Structure 1
Amino acid sequence: MIITVTPNPALDLTWTVDRFTPGASHRAPTGSARAGGKGLNVARVLNSVNVPVLAIATAGGATGDEFLAELRTSGVPHKIVPVAAETRRSIAIVDRETGQASVLNEVGQPLTGHESEQFETSIARFSSSGDVVVFSGSLPAGYTPHRLSRLIASRKAEGCLVIVDTGGEGLIAAAQAGAHALKPNREELAEATGFSDPLDGARSLIALGARLVVVSLGEEGLTIVISASRADDINARLPEPIHGNATGAGDAVVAALAQAWSENPLLDHPEQIAARVALARRATAWSASAVLMPVAGELSPRRVELEEDVIVSMTHKENR
């Protein structure tokens, strides 16, 4: 089973316009409102390809009611922890002409001490040895990186495989807690580690304790790193960039990563090159197919043909 954990969920509101002009008034077809947040998007992707998954998140207030109502109709198995604060909203305006999305993310409200305990109790209750537990997205205000680190350690102690997709100090804390895999994008990695080179940043997270790092590089694809001292890296990209709504691209990568870890708990071992190459191909294809869809959490039917087009390269040399 794969358990996705969304500490700071949102009601995702998406509108598509023919061309978005800052400062102008726009007419748009009816938008969409979906239960979102990065962990929910990961769960939607996995559920769509028939991978057993359970999404754990919080919800509160009138926005939380709308969030929960949509989630119930989605078919994604879920466990929601009620909270007092209003669930935040995320607003995306997609420019049909350019394929670019402009996003406004509200800041999540703090959880009370009791709510944090209930949230962590639910994670412990529904995850067990052998499960893959995915922590995705930002942390709510007041939920410290240290607390995330303790939560990761507790799931590892129970025999779970832990994947983390977050930024800032939370990314560093996850590496220090020995997360099995981290999935930052280029900007998150540079901000957290101080390294402008993604490979240097990824290797610094491995040195802190992470076992595998996947770095999303946008149109340049992605890189998989398993060693702090050797350049045994796997790079994957498509021959040509895919244009569209990129808001769910990273979540699709995490979904592919979670599926790969659930199928092969030894994914980070040096000899598992073929398994990591397969992951690189699938994650790149799923990311691109997510870009082709109007909302996050969905994959285009083109994902199979895109996987066949992925270009993979490797390096085998000592890192200086």
Structure 2
Amino acid sequence: MARIVVLTPNPAIDVTYRVAEQRLGETVRVADVSRRPGGKGLNVVAVLRLLGSPAVALQPLGGAPGRWMAESLLAAGTEVVVVDAPGDTRTTVAVVDDRTHPTLYSEPGEALPGATWRALADAVAQHCEAGGFLVLSGSVPPATAAEHVRHLVVAAHGVGARVLVDTSGDALLAAADAGADIVKPNEAEALEATGTGAIDAAAAALIARGAGTVVISRGDAGLCAIGADGDAFVQPAVPDVSGNPTGAGDAATAGLIAALLRGGDIAEALRWASVVGAAAVLSPVAGDIDPADLRPLADRLPTGARPTFPATEPTFPPAPVPVDLANSGAVRKP
């Protein structure tokens, strides 16, 4: 299977504080703290691995937080490529209780200098391969220019890889302008970026700019895909699935890519995306699915055809032993 490289351009350490009750303007005792490497691209990598499609996690990381993040990913068995970034890797903090919706504090991250963007493009060219995919997923750092996104797309195309971009705003438009093979915003992101009021108009605007196919996720309304050739596909969601929707869109991206690399067409890929996204909703943690849920969910899919998942559980290489990144070449750098 051709290689998948997933670039998370603005990674973060996700910190979750569990409290008895969220109260503004007061001192609140934290009952429990968890920390994990975060970012939409890393959710995609984790789900791809569970689907039996291991991917390379590429990201700019800086400072002690960046070293901790790389070590954590490596210890979990993820193949990691690090580009050195100035400053410390950012943090996001979620405050959760059992009473109300979580409160999220998200740092913007450090702007990346031109040298770091060039190093990222070089890493894309080095680690992508013909027939594979570059997936650019998540927010971009402050001051990201259209040319930064374009160079990443051009680098992947230069070695024969396809490009899927799941981002928003100006970066989404830049990806379309650069000729990304697939752009995958959600409905709100597609409408906001294009300034349109309907999905078909948003898709048409992105295709007119140069995108090959536009896939739009619509939550429990499912997904749709519109190609530059005018073909359109609508895929309903798996009905009656409830749970944690955080990361479901990232899981859908993983399902889409996994199906395409197995030779499926866009209709089959949408079915995979729908089922894998639904499996993620059943998990309390973003970036996680239980492969045993896939076939039962596929049987409930409201469509004439069912996605074909592997007959056996995927097998993975053993996780490497954690290392001291400061004194080891275990984490590859371009």
Superposed counterparts of 1:240-259, under 5 Å? 240=240, 242-259=241-258
Gaps in structure 1 of 5+ consecutive residues: 268-274, 315-320
* C-alpha displacement of 1:143: 2.4
2:286 pairs with 1:285: no
The residue that corresponds to 1:303 in the other structure is 294
The residue that corresponds to 1:135 in the other structure is 136
Distance 1:285 1:102 in 2: 28
Deviation string, structure 1 residues 106-135 (Cα, Å, up to 9, x no partner): 101012232222222222111122221101
**1:307 and 1:27, CA in 2 relative to 1: closer, same or farther beyond 3 A?**
farther
Distance 1:95 1:277 in 2: 40
The residue that corresponds to 2:4 in the other structure is 2
Superposed counterparts of 1:1-320, under 5 Å? 1-15=3-17, 21=22, 23=24, 30-94=32-96, 101-227=102-228, 229=230, 232-240=232-240, 242-264=241-263, 275-300=265-290, 301-312=292-303
* C-alpha displacement of 1:26: 6.3
Distance 1:29 1:95 in 2: 10
Whether the aligned pair in 2 keeps the contact of 1:239 and 1:309 (CA below 8 Å) is: yes
**1:189 and 1:31, CA in 2 relative to 1: closer, same or farther beyond 3 A?**
same
**1:127 and 1:83, CA in 2 relative to 1: closer, same or farther beyond 3 A?**
same
Distance 1:246 1:28 in 2: 24
TM-score (norm 2): 0.82
Whether the aligned pair in 1 keeps the contact of 2:51 and 2:258 (CA below 8 Å) is: no
Distance 1:26 1:306 in 2: 41
Distance 1:133 1:211 in 2: 14
Distance 2:185 2:304 in 1: 20
Whether the aligned pair in 2 keeps the contact of 1:10 and 1:35 (CA below 8 Å) is: yes
* C-alpha displacement of 1:66: 2.4
Distance 1:40 1:17 in 2: 26
* C-alpha displacement of 1:10: 0.7
* C-alpha displacement of 1:78: 1.0
**1:27 and 1:207, CA in 2 relative to 1: closer, same or farther beyond 3 A?**
same
Distance 2:178 2:55 in 1: 24
Distance 2:99 2:41 in 1: 29
Whether the aligned pair in 1 keeps the contact of 2:124 and 2:152 (CA below 8 Å) is: no
Gaps in structure 2 of 5+ consecutive residues: 306-334
Could you say what the CA RMSD is over the residues aligned between the two structures, in angstroms?
2.5
* C-alpha displacement of 1:239: 2.1
* C-alpha displacement of 1:5: 0.7
Distance 1:174 1:118 in 2: 18
By relative contact order (CA 8 Å, sep 6+), the higher-ranking structure is 2
**1:253 and 1:17, CA in 2 relative to 1: closer, same or farther beyond 3 A?**
farther
Give the aligned residue type for 2:144.
Y
Distance 2:32 2:137 in 1: 29
Distance 1:129 1:109 in 2: 32
Whether the aligned pair in 1 keeps the contact of 2:167 and 2:185 (CA below 8 Å) is: yes
**1:112 and 1:198, CA in 2 relative to 1: closer, same or farther beyond 3 A?**
same
Deviation string, structure 1 residues 263-309 (Cα, Å, up to 9, x no partner): 23xx6xxxxxxx33322222112112212222211113423311221
Tell me the SS of whatever aligns to 2:259.
helix
**1:93 and 1:185, CA in 2 relative to 1: closer, same or farther beyond 3 A?**
farther
Tell me the SS of whatever aligns to 1:311.
coil
* C-alpha displacement of 1:65: 2.6
Tell me the SS of whatever aligns to 2:197.
coil
* C-alpha displacement of 1:156: 1.2
Tell me the SS of whatever aligns to 2:303.
strand
Whether the aligned pair in 2 keeps the contact of 1:236 and 1:280 (CA below 8 Å) is: no
